[in-house]
Structure 1
Amino acid sequence: MTDDIAAGTPASTRTPPPADGYVGDPAVRAKWDDVYADRERLWSGRPNGALVAGTAGLTPGRVLDVGCGEGADAVWLARGGWDVTALEVSGVALERATGHARDAGVTVHWVHAGLAEAALPPASFDLVSAQYPALLRTPDAAAERALISAVAPGGVLLLVHHAGMETRQADEGDFDPADYVWPSMVAALLDDDWTVEVDEERPRVIPEGGAGAHHTHDVVLRARRLR
């Protein structure tokens, strides 16, 4: 969804889905709609470098793009032969993403929902990609478990975030790292059905233009589900 979550919004009480089909916290949707509406284009329009590197050598199959934003990763994956399901809370972002996919001549299955509320089919994706996601923490670790449960046996979970965000101090902009899910929290929930292939900090491939370009390093978690 985003390269920079420092303006995050705490979770609020869930309500039934509105007429447009969105499933999730309406306050989260409204917040991200405002973020996207504030700029004609928020991100660089190019696929995330960590995704390009992390999928090298993988055989295309079914992929879930969590927090797809304006669709650059989803379009790149579809062009590479993946069957893409792309999930996003912002309707403004999804409208842009749909247009980009149409212009590229690729098909993407769009889901307007929060990750925890989307009721995705379990164990059904060969790749679950979450690039810098703004996933809110809950007492039941719903987002973490949704990421893990979506991966099919033999599939890969690729979770990337900005280094240092987890340990930042809460600030006056209402950003508190304790509100969000970080790769270490997901890694802690992986059991013997998983093998961790990558869990490290590395220099980031920095895009030209777009929000978040000031971040220089990534934390990358890549894990494969064995069974």
Structure 2
Amino acid sequence: MSLLPSPSAPTGCNYTCKLYFDPKADQPSTGGYLITDEELRQKLANLIDTEERIQKASVYSNPLSSLQATNALLYHAFIVIETNDWWWSIEKNTEGITIQRSKNLKSVRDMYQRKKRTTGWTSLTSIRNNKTAQGGNTTISELINYVWRKDCVTNVYHVLSANCQGFAALVFDRIRSPHNDLMYFDEAADQQPSTTSIVAT
């Protein structure tokens, strides 16, 4: 479900098929980076330490509207990740996928693209930590590869079949899997097929 109100929220007509990355969300804005699916792995690899290992991940939620009485049914879900050096958030809404990185937890937990996340007037409509899992087996690089392989960037937002909650569950389950360090990753399978013809002799 979308954090940002939009008349096209059910089908994601405003969906950009791009990922927005803010590498220093606690510092003056540099404008961030808009990254396409084709650029995702290479461009992020040039911007971050992809071998940084995930220590902990949490699923957070906040209300869609400040007028809600509770977050129980209608809420936006997102993931907050802790590594040795950074705090990260990753989430999906009607406009695309956003990754934020900061030295300060509040800059990714309480803010979305440098604006305060929607909250209500009571503790039932605050930003809430719904569950937490230890990481340790997954690197940022492996998580980015997983998001890429699942076509998360190009999979247009839909309120039922491809929403924020489903995306958060996908990322969280990948991080907390006890076997995630055993996942086989064949880089050659991700390369474009060669245009060179092989002639049998």
**If the length of structure 2 is used for normalisation, what is the TM-score?**
0.25
**If the length of structure 1 is used for normalisation, what is the TM-score?**
0.23
| Max Rg structure | 2
